[in-house]
Amino acid sequence: MKSMKWIGVSFVIWLVIAACCAFAGLPFIGEIPLRIVFGWIDFVYRTLPNIELNWASAGLAAISLVALLVGVQRLGVRWMRYRSRQRGMNDGPWRFRWTGSLVAGLLLAFTAGISVLGAVHQLVWIVTREEPFVESDGFHLSGRTQSRNHLKQIGLAVHNYSDTHGLLPPGVSFDEQGRAMHSTLTMLLPFIEQQGLYSSIDLNLPWNDISNQLPFQTRIPGYEFPPQVPNPEMRPRRDMLAPANYAGNIRLLMPGSAMSFRDINDGTSNTILAGEVMAGLRPWGDPLNLRDPAKGVNKGPEGYSSPFHGGVNVLFADGSTRFLSSDTEPGILKALSTPAGAEPLADF
């Protein structure tokens, strides 16, 4: 009877806590253990379709695993022989299942170590971050709107650049030696009221030349998320180069070439020009600060990603912006990525 009473009391307490969480807008208390135990299933479901297997790396990993198994097995056999001689009695052979267990334990320990380091890193970030840990919907909406305005300013700069030069800014410019020189965002500086910064850059030298280091350490608010938006990777780099939260579409701003708006046969309103980036940030001066929208929304560092729930802000070639859902179909993303692919495009 006492056990039933305590079960009833615990259930009532659980309901009260759940109601308080719901009223405060916090995750339902029952979700926490469920997400801890089963959250990886949803992650695997969303991530696996976007993983491209590198057969060379997979083969190297398999060879390394076999070599490790053979090495541990040989060491185990020798150790058993040595132990038998020392004790003057036969302890039997070293069994392969012991080798398998030992190697599995080593791999698990290695994986656990990486997980602990990741957890400690996230904990340190949570403790030291300046932004509030829990954001209100108003805060979230304000940040998303301001970020969209940053993209619109970039779009306006691209159109002004096109009016001046007759072409879109190149994704990557190269010199005669084939060195990557400067980025799209660098070429847009005069059109976002950064003429002084632009003039301080020696365009005849690569962006990462020591002579150009100081200009590219300058943080540009229009190239970053608004201050109130969670931005864990926007931290000082060892080289102090300023990262960017926006990147061009590599299928439009192609390396080594420059297109014009006339070349966008699919229509400027149907072709992505740039988008938000939250993972794998590159400096705004890096010519390789480009992404492939066809890689998915919030699916990894090679595509576009944002801290905003459910999707990402993108800039189209006509200067308009839209919020693309994380569930946008791959076929639609590919059609929006290419300037002249002539792919059929459904509503999105």
Q: What is the pLDDT of residues 91-122, one digit of tens each?
A: 678 888 888 888 898 888 988 888 888 778 77
User: Residue 20: is its pLDDT beyond 90?
Assistant: no
Distance between CA 250 and CA 289 in Å, rounded? 9
Show me where the domains of the chain are located: 64-128, 138-337
Average of pLDDT values for 262-274?
A: 90
The confidence score (pLDDT) of residue 322 equals: 92
3-state helix, strand, coil in the chain (%, to 5): 50, 10, 40
The confidence score (pLDDT) of residue 289 equals: 92
Q: 22 pLDDT band (50/70/90 cuts)?
A: low
| Mean of per-residue pLDDT scores for the chain | 82
Q: Which tokens sit at 341? A: 């692919």
| CB of 284 closer than 8 Å to CB of 217 | no
Average of pLDDT values for 268-277?
A: 92
> For residue 197, what are the contacts with CB-CB under 8 A and spacing of at least 6?
189, 215, 218, 220
Average of pLDDT values for 167-189?
A: 86
**What is the residue whose two structure tokens read 């057969």?**
55
The confidence score (pLDDT) of residue 152 equals: 95
Distance between CA 254 and CA 160 in Å, rounded? 19
- 187-212 tens-digit pLDDT: 999 999 999 999 999 999 999 889 99
Distance between CA 333 and CA 347 in Å, rounded? 11
Q: 151 pLDDT band (50/70/90 cuts)?
A: very high
Residue 87 gets which letter from DSSP?
A: H
Roughly how many angstroms between the first and final C-alpha of the chain, as a whole number?
Answer: 59
The reported pTM is: 0.61
The confidence score (pLDDT) of residue 300 equals: 81
Q: How far is CA 165 from CA 162, 175, 325, in A?
A: 5, 19, 34
